[in-house]
Structure 1
Amino acid sequence: MQLKPIHQQVVVIVGASSGIGRDTALKFAQRRAKVVVAARSEPGLKSLVEEIQALGGEAVYVVADVSDFQQVKAIADQAVAKYGRLDTWVNAAATGIIAPFEKITPEEFKQVVDVTLMGQVYGVMAALPYLKQEGRGALILISSMEGRRSLPLQSPYSAAKHGLEGFLDALRVELQYEKWPISVTSILPSTINTPYYNKVGTKIGVKPSGIPPYYSASLVADAILYAAEHPTRDYVVGDAGKLLDLLQRISPPLTDSLLQVVGFTGQYTAQAKSEDDPNNVFTPISGYDRVEGDFGKLTIPSFLDAIDLNPSIKRGAIALAALGIAAFLGAWANLGSRE
């Protein structure tokens, strides 16, 4: 499967007014892609398009609520009307509520799922006909490590991300069976320093936090741009997420025990916040149309991501690991023969 170079692409980024989506839009524009950005926050989109244009890039925006299919379809329609085609669709829109399950209302749970899962499903429904019309392309959906390992106090968000992983697995096989050269990628970030934790709802009495360590949004944006040119099934961003994924595969009960220790206190800050304070669960809120969040001091580098993004280094690391395993097995066999 061959994807176009980024500078030849028309790219839609949904959920682009802040955080991962905003950084991704800027990086696509810097690589000379034509960019269509969408979100609920018109001020955030306007400032983003102005920033892209100031860099010499080309971009337009569409205001849309991803929980409404017709509004999502309008994003794809307007992208094609403006630029004549669609090559890559990126969906980063999400919301959440940090609270014990019993404190979450049915309406709140449904809204988180409608935005965080159904918004992505609607995006694929809207984009896929245009990608097939073009004859190739990429669907890049921002999932989460919570799509593989749920966290306490985040049941609706975790449920939505698990649902997204199931949807993408089914979709990917259908497209492969029909022999469509359309890449389907799930990006699974660890805890990322974005304004997400400023904007989501909370019923724990304080401003919520992700479980540290944090990673930069630029790591996720780099993974998205990589997947836009290199067909990739899934990509876990952040060393901590890779470790959590491995631990979950080895022993879910052990992971349960670990999260009982760090999964509750790790999501609390010392800053009081009422459940009545503004949040973006049902409507956008102003003041957070930026890439970075408030946890820069807790942000660390991710060493394994550098390997994942560099095929030559990755091949070398795999070869080195294989040699190490072979040497270990050889030594073990020699030891056994001596006995």
Structure 2
Amino acid sequence: MKIRLKKLPDQVMVITGATSGIGLVTARKAAKQGARLVLAARNEDALKQVCDELNGQGAEATYVVADVGKEDEVHHVASAAIQRFGRIDTWVNNAGIGMFGRNEEVSTEDKRRLFETNFWGVVYGSLAATEHLKRNGGALINIGSEVSDVSVPLQGIYAASKHAVKGFTDSLRIELAEAGAPVSVTLIKPGSIDTMFAVHAKNYMDVEPKLPAPIYAPDIVADAILHAATHPERDIFVGGGAKMAAAGAYYMPAVIDRIMKRVMFGQQRSDQPARHRENSLYSPSRDLKERNGVGGRTRETSLYTSAITGAKSNKALMLGAGLALAAVWQLRRNGGLKHKYAVPKQS
């Protein structure tokens, strides 16, 4: 069955994790383009502020207080959307929590709690959404990560949750296609994004965590989400750095392991002592901020992501470049190339 997605001004969109970072930016951008919104998060005061802001600008937004790790609360989000607007056209599973620390140091309780939000929240949201989307069509958009494809030290349980999100999303996409459901299922895989992720994360280290470069603006992720809401896409990497990391892990896993061991510990440890602070693992954040701010190091654009979400000719160009790069890597692995090839810098 051919999937047809509505234009944003004609859509009812559900966004979880809507009071911070990517979710907040996406809500504001979607509202500006005319979408009607159902926003979900754990902090009612923050949700009310966002909805008051958007409605004051002429948008139509409502909210539902919900912990996505609780199945009944996710179903309440879907019911509220149907009750208010009569349908759901796009559902964005964005809510997520980070954690920094060696796997052997992180408690089992904290590991389970992270999975409740990052994995089970996506499962509950996806199934609640597809129950309605299968009737009239629409888009399911799950937020994974570059670590859905390549893992990193010090974020092992987070990477595991995003690997699980990828496995679930891919299988659900196939099942819906086999059933002839008119539902587009997209996995968005951002690289490091300048949000409150590191500030809200549970931290087991003796220093404050930081994100490894390159770091991209959350607006790029929001634009990719809104593109997927109107154009069926299987998956979208946000940032050429994310795509290169995933490709490297696929074609040269042992090499990437050695690189990770050499550089990734230092890139995730700041020079600031760890602070005794609240995190978002068990309680909601209250800052209502899009960005943390990384001292001017944020990349405001991504040529790679713009090409992937742009014209078909641009997609063909990027696909051709990717296949050529894959061929070079495969030849190197098989000993077919005698000279070293420099991989061009991605943006």
* TM-score of the alignment, normalized to the shorter chain, above 0.5: yes
Measured on the aligned residues, the alpha-carbon RMSD in Å equals: 1.7
Question: 1:106 is matched by which residue type in structure 2?
Answer: T
Question: Counterparts of 2:87 and 2:304 in 1: how far apart (Å)?
Answer: 35
What's the offset of the Cα at 1:28?
A: 0.9
- 2:309–2:315 contact (8 Å) kept in structure 1: no
For residue 180 of structure 2, give the secondary structure of its aligned residue in structure 1: coil
Distance 1:310 1:173 in 2: 25
Q: CA deviation at 1:305?
A: 1.5
Q: 1:207 maps to which residue?
A: 208
For 1:273 and 1:321, the matched residues in 2 are separated by 42
Deviation at 1:150, TM superposition (A): 0.9
Aligned partner of 2:157 in structure 1 is 156
Partner deviation per Cα, 1:141-191 (whole Å, 9 max, x = no partner): 000011101110111111110011110111111101011110000000000
Measured in 2, the distance between the counterparts of 1:317 and 1:159 equals 32
Q: Distance in 2 between matches of 1:296 and 1:45?
A: 28
Tell me whether 119-128 or 304-313 shows the greater mean CA deviation. 304-313
- 1:293 corresponds in structure 2 to 292
- 2:247 equivalent in structure 1: 246
Range with bigger deviation, 64-73 or 242-251: 242-251
The residue type paired with residue 20 of structure 2 is S
Q: Secondary structure at the match of 2:216?
A: coil
Q: Residues of 1 paired with 2:94 and 2:169: CA distance?
A: 15
Deviation string 1:4-50 (CA, Å, 9 cap, x unpaired) is 11111100000101000000011111110100000112222122112
How far the C-alpha of 1:55 sits from its partner, in A, is 2.2
Tell whether the 8 Å contact from 2:139 to 2:229 is kept in structure 1 after alignment: yes
Cα distance between partner residues in 1 of 2:312 and 2:71: 41
Aligned partners of 2:312 and 2:121: how far apart in 1?
A: 36
Secondary structure in 2 aligned to 1:236? Answer: strand
Report deviation, 1:319: 9.2
- Give the whole-Å Cα distance in 2 for the aligned partners of 1:320 and 1:154: 33
Using the TM superposition, name which of 239-248 and 13-22 deviates more: 239-248
- After superposition, the C-alpha distances for 1:185-235 in whole angstroms (9 at most, x for unaligned) are 000000000011111110111221111111000000000000001000000
Aligned to 1:100: 102
TM-score, normalization: structure 1?
0.91
Aligned twin of 1:302: 302
Shift, 1:309, TM fit: 2.0
TM-score, structure 2 length as denominator?
Answer: 0.89
User: Do residues 273 (structure 1) and 278 (structure 2) align?
Assistant: no
After TM superposition, the structure 1 = structure 2 runs for residues 1-339 of structure 1, keeping only pairs within 5 Å, are 1-133=3-135, 135-274=136-275, 276-286=276-286, 288-300=287-299, 301-315=301-315, 317=317
3-state secondary structure, aligned to 1:36: strand
Q: Is the contact made by 2:137 and 2:182 (CA closer than 8 Å) also made in structure 1?
A: yes
Larger radius of gyration between Structure 1 and Structure 2: 1
Equivalent in the alignment of 2:341: none
User: Is residue 136–residue 182 contact of structure 1 (8 Å, CA) maintained in 2?
Assistant: yes
Contact 2:184 2:233 in 1 (8 A): yes
What SS does the corresponding residue of 1:284 show, helix, strand or coil?
coil
> Structure 1 169/320 Cα, relative in aligned 2: closer, same or farther at 3 Å?
closer
**Which stretches of structure 1, 4 residues or longer, exceed 6 Å deviation after superposition?**
none
Cα distance change, pair 252–86 in 1 and its aligned pair in 2 (3 A)? same
Report the CA distance between 1:302 and its aligned residue.
Answer: 1.7
What letter corresponds to residue 304 of structure 1 in structure 2? Answer: Y
Query: Residue type of the partner of 1:4?
Result: K
**Alpha-carbon offset, residue 246 of structure 1:** 1.5
Q: 1:229 corresponds to which letter in structure 2?
A: T
Deviation at 1:243, TM superposition (A): 1.0
The residue that corresponds to 2:336 in the other structure is none
Unaligned runs of 5+ in 2: 326-347
- Contact 1:144–1:190 at 8 Å: present in 2 too? yes
> Contact 2:142/2:186 (CA < 8 Å) preserved in 1?
yes
The number of equivalent residue pairs is 321
Q: Cα deviations across residues 32-91 of structure 1 (Å, max 9, x unaligned)?
A: 010000011222212211221232111001110011000011001001100000110001
Structure 1 SS opposite 2:39: strand
3-state SS, counterpart of residue 73 of structure 1: helix
Q: Percent identity?
A: 36
Which protein has the bigger helix share? 1
Structure 1 stretch displaced more, 304-313 or 101-110: 304-313
* Alpha-carbon distance in 1 for matches of 2:176, 2:302: 32
SS of alignment partner, residue 103 of structure 1: coil
CA deviations 1:302-339 (Å, max 9, x no partner) are 221221121145156359869x99xxxxxxxxxxxxxx
Contact 1:193-1:296 within 8 A present in 2 as well: no
